[in-house]
């Protein structure tokens, strides 16, 4: 059987507010205690109207709680303005990434005013993930909105508007939480020379005289967009102890097309433009000095074709880019500056001083939404875990990638599709892969069944699982967060 793409488009209409006790098979480690919190698009219809794109679905929080008596499952919809307005009107009113909402205004002037009002132009639906700011939990999206939630009840508590707070247009929905509670993120705004990417640090607690941690974060660095009318879509970024790594990819937002499409009642997705034959531009920003290197690397194309989509999609691969930090000024373009043992990557100094990078392909397929041992975040690591880009099988594979040996160990069960994974280290562990991998999965043959699997992170063998049967469709989450007890 082919890959089941309908698992990406589940339509949950009923919340599971009361925790549902699951059926345990196998063995759950007695030390595994805490909450696995997920976020993703959950509701795809309101009345007779339906969202056109999977990312448009109303944010649904799902929670697995692991305790002494096994595990429970619960879920709630995020009470965003978009969700509550659509629910109240029993139709899609608020426009999303791929769907134009139906205006409630009766006059043409009123409709135009709605379109060009910032908080109407961008939906506050936040189905991308759950993140931590100031020790509190928020649902996040690319738009400059955050929703504070209670991780115990999944209730929506308040909303943060970073457009009003900081004047930004969008944000990376994957900020980096440091060990001291500081959060690093990349905010997208407009400066004197056009679009820019500001790297900022949000403190663990509000600064003196400020109402929240979101008031005037510390600027770490700033980079101007290379195309003034086409800032790039920057979904995430890299972080090490010394550098912030920005990948300015050729998938961009055409500003003129976006405005025109808005006026013509066309969705935001129509303003996305792939700058064909352009390289990825990597900005390596020093966290202390704000100085940065400019580097370029190659990319792969993603193609979609008809009914055989699974076999024709580019499954990608894991690539490793090696960046030499000490580059001789006299290096010639023909010289490979990568001296890392065992690496097939290349770095060649160009005449303008930039580096042309050729990545080293590590695996046959990509492994998306990666997770790793949190103790190795921002540092050297050997292993990471992710969802396989192989869509030629009837199920969603999950792999453990060994960067050093290039070995991949996979978990797979036909008909089961993994949402996201989370690595939980065993207390007292010294080995990097000593722990378990939590895997939230749904089933192709039963839309109301959810399963939480616990795998041994070392060999990817199943240790135990907990199964739940809910009253509505189980949605496929985009990102997750484990909160230890």
SS3 content of the chain, % helix, strand, coil (to 5): 10, 40, 50
For residue 211, what are its two tokens? 């109402």
Strand runs (DSSP E) across 389-473, as ranges? 398-402, 408-411, 416-425, 435-443, 449-456, 462-469
Q: CB of 470 within 8 A of CB of 63?
A: no
Asked whether residue 235 is marked as a ligand-binding residue, the answer is: yes
The string of DSSP codes covering 212-255 is STTSSPEEEEEEE-SSTT--B-----EE-SSEEEEEE-SEEE-H
Q: Tell me the HSE value of 115 on the side-chain side, using a 13 A CA sphere.
A: 21
Residue 479 labelled as part of a binding site? yes
Contact status, residue 357 vs residue 389, Cβ threshold 8 Å: no
Report the distance separating Cα 321 and Cα 393, nearest Å: 29
Nearest residue to 272 via CA among 328, 317, 233, 329: 233
Burial of 140 (0-12, 13-18, 19+ CB in 10 A): buried
Dihedral-angle region of residue 433 (phi above 0 means left; psi in -120 to 50 means alpha; beta otherwise): alpha
How does DSSP assign 169-194, residue by residue?
SEE-S--EE-TTS-EEEEEEEEETTE
In sequence order, what are the beta bridge partners of 274?
251
**Residue keyed to tokens 């500081």:** 182
* Eight-class DSSP state of 270: G
Tell me how crowded residue 463 is: count the other CB atoms within 10 A of its CB: 16
Q: Which residue has the tokens 């700011």?
A: 133
Helix (H, G, I), strand (E, B) or coil at 300: coil
Pairing of strands 355-358, 292-297: parallel
Cite the annotated binding site for Fe cation by residue number.
Answer: 235, 479
Cite the annotated binding site by residue number.
Answer: 235, 479
């Amino acid at each position: 059987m082919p890959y089941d793409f309908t698992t990406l488009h589940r339509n949950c209409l009923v919340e599971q507010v009361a925790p549902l006790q699951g059926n345990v098979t196998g063995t759950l480690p007695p030390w595994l205690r805490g909450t696995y919190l997920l976020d993703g698009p959950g509701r795809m219809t309101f009345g007779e109207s339906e969202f056109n794109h999977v990312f448009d679905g109303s944010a649904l929080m799902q929670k697995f709680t692991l305790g002494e008596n096994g595990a429970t499952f619960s879920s709630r919809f995020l009470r965003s303005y978009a969700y509550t307005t659509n629910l109240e009107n029993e139709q899609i009113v608020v426009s999303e990434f791929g769907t134009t909402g139906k205006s409630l205004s009766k006059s043409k002037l009123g409709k135009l005013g709605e379109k060009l009002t910032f908080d109407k132009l961008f939906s506050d639906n936040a189905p991308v993930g759950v993140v931590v700011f100031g020790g509190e939990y928020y649902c996040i999206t690319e738009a400059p909105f955050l929703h504070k939630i209670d991780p115990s009840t999944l209730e929506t508590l308040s909303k943060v508007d970073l457009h009003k707070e900081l004047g930004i247009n969008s944000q990376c929905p994957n900020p980096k939480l440091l060990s001291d509670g500081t959060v690093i993120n990349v905010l997208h705004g407009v400066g004197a020379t056009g679009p820019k990417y500001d790297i900022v640090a949000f403190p663990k607690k509000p600064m003196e005289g400020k109402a929240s941690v979101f008031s005037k974060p510390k600027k770490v660095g700033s980079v101007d967009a290379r195309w003034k009318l086409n800032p790039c879509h920057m979904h995430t970024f890299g972080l090490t102890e010394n550098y912030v790594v920005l990948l300015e990819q050729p998938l961009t937002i055409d500003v003129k097309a976006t405005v025109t499409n808005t006026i013509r009642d066309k969705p935001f997705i129509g303003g996305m433009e792939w700058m064909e034959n352009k390289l990825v531009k990597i900005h390596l920003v020093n966290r202390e000095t704000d100085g940065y290197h400019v580097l370029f690397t190659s990319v792969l194309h993603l193609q979609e074709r008809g009914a055989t989509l699974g076999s024709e999609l580019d499954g990608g691969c894991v690539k490793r880019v090696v960046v030499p930090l000490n580059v001789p000024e006299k290096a010639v373009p023909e010289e490979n500056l990568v001296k890392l043992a065992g690496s097939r990557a290349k770095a060649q100094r160009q005449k303008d001083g930039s580096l042309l990078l050729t990545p080293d392909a590590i695996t046959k397929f990509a492994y998306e939404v990666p997770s790793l041992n949190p103790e190795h975040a921002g540092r050297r690591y050997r292993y990471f875990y992710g969802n396989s880009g192989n869509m030629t099988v009837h199920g969603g594979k999950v792999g453990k990638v060994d960067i050093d040996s290039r070995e991949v160990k996979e978990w797979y069960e036909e008909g089961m599709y993994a949402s996201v994974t989370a690595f939980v280290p065993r207390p007292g562990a010294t080995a990097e892969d000593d722990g378990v991998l939590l895997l939230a999965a749904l089933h192709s043959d039963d839309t109301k069944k959810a399963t939480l699997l616990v795998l041994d992170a070392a060999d990817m063998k199943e240790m135990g699982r907990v199964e739940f049967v809910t009253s509505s469709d189980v949605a496929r989450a985009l990102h997750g967060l484990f909160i230890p007890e």
